[in-house]
Amino acid sequence: MKFKKIFNDQRVVLTLLTIALFIFFGLRNSAFFNVDFVIYPLLRDGATLTVIGLAQLCVLSIGHLNLAVGRMAAVSALVAGASYQYWGLTLVQGAILGVLAGALLGAITGWIIVKSQVNAFIVTLAMDFALLGLVTFIYVTFTGATAAFTTKPAGMDYWRSKSLADFCLGPICGPKALPMMLVPAIFCLILVSFMFSKTRLGRELLSTGSNLRAAKLSGIPVENRVMTAHIFSGTLAGIGGLMLAYTNGSFTAAIGSQVMLPSFLGPVLGGTLLAGGAVAVLGTFIGTMMTLVIRQGLSVQGIGLETLNIALGLVLLLALSVGQIQKMFTSIKLRGKK
């Protein structure tokens, strides 16, 4: 129970801290409380980054990492964009195709890691470079100077600009501050959380991450689990890529190019161990929101880009120390026990 308690505590602390920061920035400058210009976009970006954070979390669970997470998102957007532009697919058909492309990339990555026994860091780094080249090449070849697929299928703007206020059950409508983008994010949060906390698959993934050799010797098919983790990662990166593209309004090579490092922030701030074996799904959302509140809050204060980056760097440092600090506390506790 104690272990669980620490995690609960951390999530509570993180939530309180995020709210405190939010109020702090709001009090300093009331523009921060503006629904249309701050809160709505904040949550919309938060939703997208959370899904990409979950993509990272899936591989962190087995102690791997996915440096190609942003580029996998780009490929999904590319596939969906091409399908809208050239094949005239509907919004949903194209989206499904895009997500499948992400899953396929994840599967290929996992397969290479299992078969070559090369570290996931190297494989996904190589994957990132390869995909960067491929994505840019395709956009330039097919669309020339625009370097973007601009055809918007029916309903795409809906996801970009509508909020739960447009979603009514009889006379009761949702709040205007909550963007539609939250719906797929919440859907992913629930599924991933359920998978890790309740199911056999989740347990096998975490066991593999906690101690690979012990998992192997206990009869867990660890190679399959490595594949599974990377397929999930690719799938979620794909969903994230589509969310980025829909928010963006067009399909370009730049999609996903800024999300690789932030994808670590959410999960790790939330309490996911880089070494594997423990994940924090809800924590990923809270951690992501916190970084966005800081970024957005500072920029509303009129702080320059450089200072902003310094602040974000400090947050990253904090995030990466959290695991270590936690370990320190646990070891103090253990010392006490002995």
Partner 1 sequence: MSNQLLISKVSKAFPGVQALNEVNLNLTSGTVHALLGENGAGKSTLIKIITGVYLADSGSLKVEGVEKSFHNPIESTHSGIAVVHQERNLIPEFSVEENITLHNPPLKLGIIDRKERTRLAKQALETLGFEIDLTERVKNLSVAQMQLVEIAKALVTNAKIILLDEPTASITGSETSKLFDVIKRLKSQGNAILFVSHKLEEVYEICDTVTVLRDGVSVLESMPLADYKQGEIVDLMVGRHLAERKAETRRVDRNATPVIELKNLQTSLGHRNISLSLYPGEVLGMYGLVGAGRSELARSILGLHAITGGEILVNGSVVKIRNFTEALHKYRIGYVTENRKEEGLFLDFPVRKNISVTILAKILQRLSVINPKKEDDIATKYVDRLGIKVVDNNQLALTLSGGNQQKVSVSKWLAAETKILIIDEPTVGVDVRTKASFHELITELANEGLSIILISSDLAEMVAVADRILVMRRYEFVGDLDNSKDYQSMSRSIMNSIQAS
Strand pairing of 168-169 and 172-173? antiparallel
Q: By C-beta, is 302 or 336 nearer to partner 1?
A: 336
Nearer to partner 1, 170 or 335 (CB): 335
Shortest CB 281 distance to partner 1, Å: 16
In this structure, the number of other CB atoms found within 10 A of the CB of residue 34 comes to: 13
Q: Is residue 220 part of the contact set for partner 1 (CB under 8 A)?
A: yes
**In the complex with partner 1, which residue's Cβ is closer, 207 or 288?**
207
In the bound state with partner 1, the residue whose beta carbon lies nearer, of 145 and 335, is 335
Q: Which helix (H) or strand (E) element contains residue 251?
A: strand 251-252
Q: How many CA atoms lie within 13 A of 308 on its CB side?
A: 15
Annotate each residue in 2-21 with x if it binds partner 1 (CB under 8 A) or - if it does not, as one string: xxx-----------------
Near partner 1 in 122-141, by CB under 8 A = none
Closest CA to 56 of 264, 239, 204: 264
CB of 220 to partner 1, least distance (A): 7
Q: Which is nearer to partner 1, 121 or 194 (CB)?
A: 194
How many residues bind to partner 1 according to rule CB under 8 A? 30
When the beta carbons of 100 and 191 are compared against partner 1, the nearer one is: 191
**Smallest distance, partner 1 to C-beta of residue 167, A:** 28
Per the CB < 8 A criterion, the answer to whether 298 and 310 are in contact is no
DSSP 164: G
Note whether 115 binds partner 1 by CB under 8 A.
Answer: no
The CA distance from 314 to 323, in Å, is 15
The residue within the footprint of partner 1, chosen from 153, 256, 267, 277 (CB under 8 A), is 277
* Per-position x/- string for 180-219, each x denoting binding to partner 1 as judged by CB under 8 A, each - no binding: ------------------xxxx-xx-xx--xx-xxxxxxx
The encoded tokens of residue 317 equal 């440092």
As measured in angstroms, the least distance from the Cβ of 280 to partner 1 is 14
Phi, psi of 168 (to 5 degrees): -115, 145
Q: How far is the CB of 335 from partner 1 (least distance, A)?
A: 7
Tokens standing for 181? 């983008």
Q: Tokens 């290479």 — which residue?
A: 112
Q: How far is the CB of 213 from partner 1 (least distance, A)?
A: 4
Question: Closer CB to partner 1, residue 73 or residue 278?
Answer: 278
**247 closest CA partner among 259, 261, 230:** 259
User: Are 230 and 109 spatial neighbours (Cβ–Cβ below 8 Å)?
Assistant: yes
d(CA 72, CA 55): 10
C-alpha to C-alpha distance for 171 and 76, rounded to whole angstroms = 38
Interacting residues toward partner 1 by CB under 8 A: 1-4, 198-201, 203-204, 206-207, 210-211, 213-221, 277-278, 334-338
